[in-house]
Amino acid sequence: MILLASTVSCALVLVEIAVVAPEFLRAAITPLAILVMTLGVLSLPLWFLQTKGRNEMPSQGNPTELKGSATFFQIVRVPRIATIAALNARLEIEATAMIRQPSMLLIRPVPTS
């Protein structure tokens, strides 16, 4: 279902580009058409192969349970902390280089006569 929704949304993007920016359509039609056709070829067999008898509601759990949100928080937090640590290390290296070589500074002191 998600693959089919992606196919439809990409096709709608093509229609929107045609309406809003027809001059851009010439550049965008080839890659987006390839994407729509590829997604369509992949999603149509899955649409016909899915089971049609799944009409019952899934079991309902406690909506106030924090396990799911805590897991999501951990999934988001770990890459964010890694990115911050990498940026911090890069900034420290650049700051050290600027201290050792002041000519790297963007703002240079004005020479006094």
Place of tokens 């439809």: 8
Res. 77 pLDDT band, cuts 50 70 90: confident
- Lookup: tokens for 66: 């924090």
pTM for this model (two decimals): 0.44
Rounded mean pLDDT of 57-62? 75
Give me the half-sphere count of Cα atoms (radius 13 Å) on the Cβ side of residue 30: 2
Selection from 16, 14, 50, 20 nearest residue 35 by Cα: 14
Q: What is the CA 75 to chain-centroid distance, rounded?
A: 15
